[in-house]
Amino acid sequence: MTRLRGMNKFVGMNKSDEMNKSGRVACPRPSNSGGKPLFLTCSLFSFVIFLICLVASVVVAQVQEEEVRSDDPVIEQRLANLSKELRCLQCQNQTLADSPAGLAADLRREIRVQMKAGKSDQQIIAFLTQRYGDFILYKPRVTFTTYLLWFGPFVLLLGGLYVLFTYIQQRRDQIAEEPLTAEEHRRAQELLASLPGKETL
Amino acid sequence: MLRYLIPLVLFLALAIFLAIGLTRDPHELTSVLINQPAPAFRLPELKAAGKTISNEDMRGKVWLLNVWASWCVACREEHPWLIKYAQSGAVPIYGLNYKDRREDAIAWLEELGDPYTANAVDFDGRTGIDYGVYGAPETYVIDQGGMIRMKHVGPITPDVWSEKILPVVQQLNRQGTSK
C-alpha cells in the first residue's frame, strides 16, 4: 500500500502541468522536462496504463534484485528464451521466466551454471525432465501418451467434417422431391391466392 | 434412435473424464524418479557440525527421506505424526533440511521434537532439484538398494501413512529379507 501511495505522489507531483493552454488535462510527466511542449493528451486509460507499467517495473526490479545474474549477456539471452518454454512447478501456470517463486529462482540459477559450463539447451532440458518430468515443458512432447493430445483435434475435425457431409447429403436427398401433381399444384395456387395483399405466382 | 444415442454416449464419456479430473490434485505430480536410483548427495549434517551424510550411508536398509524446512507450514502439520511413526520403529526417517537456516532448523527441532535419525542440510536447494522437489514437505521411500520406490508430496497424515507409505515399507522389508 505504501508503495502505491508513493507512486501516486510521483505521478501527481507536477500539478501545475496538468492543465495546458487548450484546457485539456495533460499527462503527468517528470518535473525535469521543463518548458518542453506537452505532446500527450491524457485519457484515463493511458493514465492507468502508465500506472500499471510503473508498478510492474518496480515489482519486476524487486524480483530480479534477489537473483545473481550472469555477466554474460549471451547466457542471459539464452536463459530468457529457454525459461519461457519451461513451467514453474510451484506456481504451475507461470513460466520459469515469469515466476517469482523460490524454486524458479533456484532453477534459473542452475540453468545459468549449466550454460556457463557449456551445456546445450537440449542437455539442460534433459537434465530438468529427468528430475521433474515432461510436465516442466510447456510444449508437450510427441510421445505415445500424448498422441491423443496432439492429434485428437484433427481426428475430431475429420469426424465433424464426415458428420457434416453426410448430413448435407441426407438433406439434399430429402429436398430433391418429385414434382407436384396437378391436384397439389391447384391447391397450392389456391392457398397462395387466398393470402391477403399477395399476388399469385 | 442412434442419432440421439451417440451424443448421449459422447456426453457421458466426457462427463466421466471430467469427473475423474475433478478428483485429482493438479499439484500432485507423479515423480519420474520412481524406480530410479536415489540421486547421490553428500551434505553437512544438521546437528553434528563437521560431519557429512550421504545417501550411501543408508544402503542396505529401507529408509524415508523427508524434505522439510522450519519455514514450511505444512511441515509443522505433519511433524507430530512423524515423531509418532519414528518412535514406532517401522522405518528410519532421515531429513533433508531444505533451504533453511541452520539455527532456525535446530531451534525448530528442539521446540517440536526430533523424529529424524539424521538430517542432511541442503542450504541452496541443489539436492532438492536432483530429487525433483517442488514443495516441502515431500517424502521419499528408498529401498535397500538405494532405489526410490515411492514419493509422497504434502504432509504425512495417518491415512497417508497407513495406506501409502507403510505398506510400501513393509513390502520392501519382506522382499529384502526373503532374498
| pLDDT tens, position by position, B43-83 | 999 998 889 999 999 999 999 999 999 999 999 999 999 99
Report which DSSP code applies to A101.
S
Cβ neighbours of A176 (radius 10 Å): 7
Distance (Å) from the alpha carbon of A126 to chain B's nearest alpha carbon: 12
Binary contact (A110, B124; C-beta < 8 A): no
> What band does B30 get if pLDDT is binned at 50, 70 and 90?
confident
Q: Is the pLDDT of residue B131 over 80?
A: yes
Cell digits of residue A65: 534484485
- Fold topology of A68-139: Helicase, Ruva Protein; domain 3 (1.10.8)
Q: Does the residue B10 lie in any domain?
A: no
Give the residues across from A64 on adjacent strands: none
Q: Does the residue B11 lie in any domain?
A: no
Average pLDDT of B156-169? 94
pLDDT by residue for chain A (201 residues), tens only, comes to 334 443 333 333 333 333 333 333 333 333 444 444 444 444 666 666 666 656 655 544 444 446 778 888 889 999 999 988 898 888 778 888 888 888 899 999 999 999 999 999 999 999 999 999 888 998 888 888 889 989 999 999 999 999 999 999 988 887 777 778 889 889 989 998 887 765 555
Binary contact (A129, B32; C-beta < 8 A): yes
The four Cα atoms B42, B43, B47, B48 give a dihedral, to 10 degrees, of 50
Q: Which CATH number characterizes residue B114's domain?
A: 3.40.30.10
B134 touching A, CB under 8 A?
yes
- β-strands B63-68, B148-153 pairing: unpaired
Residue range(s) defining the domain that contains residue B81: 31-178
Distance (Å) from the alpha carbon of A102 to chain B's nearest alpha carbon: 10
Residue B53, exposed/middle/buried by CB under 10 A (0-12, 13-18, 19+)? Answer: buried
Q: Does the residue B7 lie in any domain?
A: no
Partner-chain residue, chosen from A106, A107, A130, that has the shortest CB–CB distance to B32? A130
Predicted confidence at residue B178, as pLDDT, reads 54
Average pLDDT, chain B: 92
pTM: 0.68
Binary contact (A131, B29; C-beta < 8 A): no
- Domain map (residue ranges) of chain A: 1-65, 68-139, 145-176
Residue to test with chain A: of B9, B134, B148, most A Cβ within 10 A: B134
Q: Where are the alpha helices (DSSP H) in chain B?
A: 2-23, 73-88, 102-112, 126-130, 158-160, 166-178
Predicted confidence at residue A199, as pLDDT, reads 56
Q: Does the residue B147 lie in any domain?
A: yes
Instruction: List pLDDT tens digits, range B43-54.
Output: 999 998 889 999
Predicted confidence at residue B155, as pLDDT, reads 94
The four Cα atoms B126, B129, B131, B132 give a dihedral, to 10 degrees, of 170
Q: Does the residue B113 lie in any domain?
A: yes
Domain count, chain B: 1
Predicted confidence at residue B3, as pLDDT, reads 81
